[in-house]
Amino acid sequence: MLSFTFWWMNYVERVVDGLKRRDPAQPEFHQAVGEVFDSLLPVLEERPEYEEAGILERLAEPDRVILFRVTWLDDAGRTRVNRGFRVQATNVLGPYKGGLRFHPTVNLSILKFLGFEQIFKNALTTLPLGAGKGGSDFDPKGKSDAEVMRFCQSFMTELSRHIGPNTDVPAGDIGVGAREIGFLYGQYKRLTNEVTGVLTGKSVGWGGSLIRPEATGYGTVYFASEMLKAAKLSLDGQPCVISGSGNVAQYTCRKLLELGAKPVSMSDSGGTVYDKDGIDEEKLAWIMELKNKRRGRIHEYASEFKCEYREGRLPWDIPCFAAFPSATQNEVDEAGAKSLVANGCRLLAEGANMPCTPEAVEVLRNGNVLYGPGKAANAGGVAVSGLEMSQNAMRLNWRSDEVDSRLASIMNQIHEDAYAASERYGDPGNYVLGANAAGFTRIADAMIDQGVV
Ligand code: NDP
Ligand code: 2IT
């Protein structure tokens, strides 16, 4: 595609156009950058020093991208080759920080978009966290524990050269949970002979923080509750749909139950279960056993609890008061958003990163659905990772009620800051503008303070 930079383009258009020309095959990255930068026009107008300092160009170019081969042996003794990545987005506010994703769809576009989102999310937490993301196109599905271990050891053998407790602190994301973090951490220690908090999401018995597994899901529901409170609404007794059935989905479901809501669906890449009676504590425990131990498929829930299974479908046409997309990017498209609006949905809070397409966001906003963007709504996960780093540095552990209350207060503060920024820039209750503006000004001011680097 031919593209030119014209003098009449505004600063945002020039930067986004430049990105598209340099890296034409990175659509998810362009989408994430476009969404953030477009919303910042009122901020950029008020603060011309950001353009003078080239802040947008610098934010859109990661500090460093590391790409490496990961070679490992499968159980049949065959040599397998995958690609490993670490995108170190920025260390302006602290060590690079963000998850690792193992999924066959992983490529540079997806990891650059995730690293970019992480910049603003981590800034919103107010903790000293830079931003990064990494992973591999390795697919843990269908692999034995021994294969996953050998892959993780090979992956960490290279990654270990680029990370460290004061340099870059990875964690989990899709396909990387407690099992993978354990294997990665074990290999890091073997290579470096150092016991440091170099990864977060560790198990509680060996350096992990209580509430880290729960943090993203709990935080998303805390954020949603704050949005509803501001709009004088409540989750009590209300039907909710959740996509995914992994870490974020499970703990979103648990917190919704605690707050008296009625989760009615969960999904995986095969399809969606619709349980009109509601997924209660007992059924949720069954899902956690299915997904975290047996590594089974969600359709088994429909047979076990005699409810509807919608093969190959997403939950967005199920009537609900609130929706919690908690699987992957671009899972809510325009049609999905229209179904939600038509069925009277009042709130959507993003547990996943960028689950809504730009068209879906427009439909939701025009349909008066309260919309909580991921970089604010799901920041609880990385926030408790930050608290895990603090506990590791102090070499002591906080009680779960202490971590949970810190998590709740961080989520309340993010809501307050995003709401205040939305008011400040002229569109009260626009959480896209508010979250982007609040995160952006924090990082942009720090970049100016730290000079041209
Ligand atoms: P998990 O691997 O634990 O679970 C992922 C879930 O989403 C699974 O049910 C999986 O189904 C489904 N899924 C993944 N990819 C796809 C796909 N391409 N199409 C359909 N379904 C898919 O991951 P998490 O719960 O940790 O992460 C979920 C989302 O939350 C991601 O967007 C992640 O970036 C985001 N997030 C995670 C945080 C964390 O702390 N873990 C923090 C903040 C955001 P299947 O098993 O069939 O693949
Ligand atoms: O997207 C995310 O914020 C995460 N996957 C969690 C990152 C972290 O470092 O805990």
Q: Which of 218, 328, 332, 411 to mutate to test the pocket of ligand 1 (most atoms within 8 A of CB)?
A: 328
pLDDT above 90 (res 382): yes
Establish whether domains 61-195 and 215-372 are of one fold: yes
Q: Which of 248, 252, 411 to mutate to test the pocket of ligand 1 (most atoms within 8 A of CB)?
A: 248
Beta strands in 159-236 (DSSP E): 168-171
Rg (CA), the chain: 21
- Rounded to the nearest 10°, the torsion over CA 438, 442, 448, 451 is -150
Q: Which of 106, 120, 385, 389 to mutate to test the pocket of ligand 2 (most atoms within 8 A of CB)?
A: 385
Q: Which residues does ligand 2 sit against, CB inside 6 Å?
A: 97-99, 121, 171, 173, 200, 353, 381-382, 385
- In the prediction, which pLDDT does 421 show? 98
Average of per-residue pLDDT values in the chain:
97
- What value does the mean pLDDT take over residues 358-367? 98
Q: How does residue 3 score in pLDDT terms, banded at 50, 70 and 90?
A: very low
- What value does the mean pLDDT take over residues 359-387? 98
Q: Which atom of ligand 2 is nearest to the CA of 212?
A: 10
Which residue in the list 97, 121, 133, 375 is annotated as catalytic?
133
- In the prediction, which pLDDT does 2 show? 46
Tokens 């260390």 map to which residue?
A: 91
- Distance (Å) of CA 63 to CA 58, 96, 263: 8, 10, 41
Q: Hey, where are the domains in the chain?
A: 61-195, 215-372
Least confident of 6-10, 378-382, 422-426: 6-10
**Cβ(36)–Cβ(116) below 8 Å:** yes
- In the prediction, which pLDDT does 5 show? 58
Known catalytic membership, residue 283: no
- 430 forms beta bridges with none
Distance between Cα 10 and ligand 2 center (Å):
33
CATH code for the domain defined by 61-195? 3.40.50.10860
Distance between Cα 104 and ligand 1 center (Å):
13
Q: Which atom of ligand 2 is nearest to the CA of 379?
A: 3
Please state at what angle helix 108-125 crosses helix 431-449, rounded to 10 degrees: 90
What's the full length of the chain, in residues?
A: 453
- In the prediction, which pLDDT does 76 show? 98
Distance between Cα 445 and ligand 1 center (Å):
33
Q: Between 422 and 8, where is the model more confident?
A: 422
The listed CATH number (3.40.50.10740, 1.10.3720.10, 3.90.1150.10, 3.40.50.720) that belongs to domain 215-372: 3.40.50.720
Distance between Cα 13 and ligand 1 center (Å):
32
- Token pair belonging to 11: 């600063």
- Token pair belonging to 7: 């003098």
- What value does the mean pLDDT take over residues 59-74? 98
- What value does the mean pLDDT take over residues 254-265? 98
% of the chain at pLDDT higher than 90? 98
Q: How does residue 9 score in pLDDT terms, banded at 50, 70 and 90?
A: confident
* Three-state DSSP state, 262: strand
**Buried/exposed code over 193-225 (b: 16+ C-beta within 10 A; e: otherwise):** eeebbbbbbbeeeebbbbbbbbbbbbbbbbbbb
pLDDT above 60 (res 4): no
- What value does the mean pLDDT take over residues 364-391? 98
Nearest ligand (C-alpha, residue 198)? 2
Distance between Cα 272 and ligand 2 center (Å):
25
